């Protein structure tokens, strides 16, 4: 994150700019997950508690299973009228804004936790945070310390807990630190958060279509001879034949990843618009720089990118070649 024209913000500098704003627009990353939705929802609740107008904007609709986090809030795919102070939440690079980048919004600040990315505004980034929710929690605590917020609003606590749990796989991944757990513990302190309900919604409850997609992925996963690199490819034709939508493919990567012996997992999905998305997970191999090589971003062990290729099979071949090249070097 060096050599950019953008400033690195301290917590208090970020809070001061938030406090100076009257109308706030929080940008979520495309294909929204529990962290970007939970973190943006928490910021909207906090902004409202500060007496401000606040909205959320995302290139893709918030998936049904996460809609409990945005209930009663204005979070949509169409930009509300008027001028805003625009803050990107959990967005590592402009590419992750998806179609929003075409709006050329004047992004004032970024709040993020990705160690690999392309800064596009003055930023508050905790590279060691497990989730953007951890950064938002620090912002909320700072506002409380500054005397601007009496306490973290109840609904914001649930949203932040969901953000933390979402990006840590229910506090199971290696990104969990003592600070992550202290944030979660603090959010649970006053009994305002029904953690079992949040975790059930995030991890246990699956639609039949999602289960069908997972079953397909289990059946069609292939691997290198040593079983260390595994992948699955799902084209539009295959998805349509399966009777599922793109949003039901979100967890197929986890099926590839959970196979015994797999160290690098790859899921390649042709999108309805013909573009080709790749998700990668690993047990330590750097998939963030791999994704960055293809113009994407993410974390050391979890990343994604859009691959430019003529066919999904070509994209898979290019990804596999690059992974093998780096893995067996």
User: Least distance (Å) from Mn ion to the CB of residue 212?
Assistant: 27
Least distance to Mn ion, CB of residue 180, Å: 12
Between 35 and 115, CB nearer to Mn ion = 35
Q: Which two tokens stand for residue 246?
A: 């793109």
Place of tokens 């797999």: 262
Number of residues that bind Mn ion (CB under 5 A): 4
Query: Rounded to an integer, what distance in angstroms lies between the CA atom of residue 294 and that of residue 117?
Result: 12
d(CA 236, CA 234): 7
Report the alpha-carbon distance of residue 181 to residue 244 in Å, rounded.
36
Residues comprising the chain, all counted: 329
Closest to 306 in 3D by CA, of 265, 264, 273? 273
Residues 31-60 that bind Mn ion (CB under 5 A): 35
> With binding defined as CB under 5 A, does residue 115 bind Mn ion?
no
Stretch in the footprint of Mn ion (CB under 5 A) among 87-95, 175-183, 304-312, 320-328: 87-95
Distance CA 226, CA 130 (A): 31
- Which of residues 132 and 264 has its CB atom nearest to Mn ion in the complex? 132
Least CB distance to Mn ion at residue 204 (A): 21
Closer residue to Mn ion (CB): 158 or 221: 158
Nearer to Mn ion among residue 90 and residue 95 (C-beta) = 90
- Of 40-48, 127-135, 147-155, 276-284, the window that binds Mn ion (rule: CB under 5 A) is 127-135
Distance CA 204, CA 197 (A): 10
User: Whose Cβ is closer to Mn ion: residue 176's or residue 316's?
Assistant: 176
Q: How far is the CB of 29 from Mn ion (least distance, A)?
A: 8
Which tokens hold the place of 45?
């609740």
Nearer to Mn ion, 163 or 229 (CB): 163
Kindly tell me which residue out of 21, 47, 86, 90 binds Mn ion, with binding defined by CB under 5 A: 90
Beta-strand runs (E) in the chain? 23-27, 53-57, 75-76, 85-89, 107-112, 122-125, 222-223, 229-234, 264-270, 276-282, 297-298, 302-307
Phi and psi, residue 188, nearest 5°: -85, -15
Supply the minimum distance, in Å, between the C-beta of residue 218 and Mn ion: 26
**Of 90 and 214, which has the nearer Cβ to Mn ion?**
90
Binding string, residues 167-206; x marks residues near Mn ion by CB under 5 A: x---------------------------------------
Stretch of residues binding Mn ion (CB under 5 A), selected from 84-92, 136-144, 149-157, 193-201: 84-92
Tell me which residue has tokens 């989730």.
Answer: 131
Sign of CA dihedral 167, 169, 170, 172: negative
Burial class (CB in 10 A: 0-12, 13-18, 19+), 237: exposed
Token pair of 323 as six digits:
């992974």
CB of 288 to Mn ion, least distance (A): 13
- Across 192-298, the runs of DSSP E, i.e. the strands, are 222-223, 229-234, 264-270, 276-282, 297-298
The least distance separating Mn ion from the CB of residue 236, rounded to whole angstroms, comes to 27
Q: Is the Cβ of residue 167 or residue 270 nearer to Mn ion in the bound state?
A: 167
Distance of closest approach, residue 235 Cβ to Mn ion, in angstroms? 28
The least CB distance from residue 167 to Mn ion, in Å, is: 5
| Cβ-based nearer residue to Mn ion, 127 or 215 | 127
Site residues, Mn ion (CB under 5 A): 35, 90, 132, 167
């Amino acid at each position: 994150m060096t050599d950019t024209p953008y400033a690195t913000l301290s917590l208090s500098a970020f809070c001061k700019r938030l406090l100076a704003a009257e109308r706030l627009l929080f940008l979520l990353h495309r294909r929204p997950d529990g962290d970007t939705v939970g973190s943006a929802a928490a910021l909207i609740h906090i902004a409202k508690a500060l007496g401000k107008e606040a909205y959320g904007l995302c290139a893709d609709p918030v998936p049904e299973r996460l809609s409990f986090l945005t209930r009663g809030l204005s979070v949509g795919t169409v930009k509300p009228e008027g001028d805003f102070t625009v803050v990107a939440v959990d967005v590592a690079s402009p590419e992750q804004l998806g179609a929003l980048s075409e709006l050329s919004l004047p992004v004032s600040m970024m709040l993020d936790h990705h160690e690999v990315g392309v800064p596009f505004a003055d930023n508050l980034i905790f590279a060691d945070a497990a989730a953007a929710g951890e950064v938002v929690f620090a912002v909320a605590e700072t506002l409380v310390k500054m005397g601007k917020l009496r306490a973290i609003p109840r609904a914001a606590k649930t949203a932040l807990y969901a953000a933390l749990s979402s990006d840590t796989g229910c506090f199971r991944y290696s990104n969990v630190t003592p600070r992550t757990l202290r944030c979660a513990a603090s959010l649970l302190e006053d009994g305002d958060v029904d953690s079992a309900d949040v975790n059930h919604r995030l991890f246990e409850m699956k639609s039949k279509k999602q289960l069908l997609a997972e079953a397909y992925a289990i059946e069609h996963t292939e691997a290198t001879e040593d079983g260390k690199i595994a992948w699955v490819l799902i084209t539009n034709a295959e998805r349509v034949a399966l009777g599922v939508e793109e949003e039901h493919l979100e967890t197929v990567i986890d099926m590839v990843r959970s196979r015994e012996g797999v160290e690098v997992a790859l899921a390649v999905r042709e999108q309805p618009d013909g573009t080709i998305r790749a998700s990668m997970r690993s047990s330590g191999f750097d998939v963030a720089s791999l994704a960055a090589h293809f113009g994407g971003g993410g974390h050391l062990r979890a990343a994604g990118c859009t691959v430019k290729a003529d066919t999904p099979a070509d994209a898979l071949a290019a990804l596999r070649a690059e992974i093998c090249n780096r893995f067996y070097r």
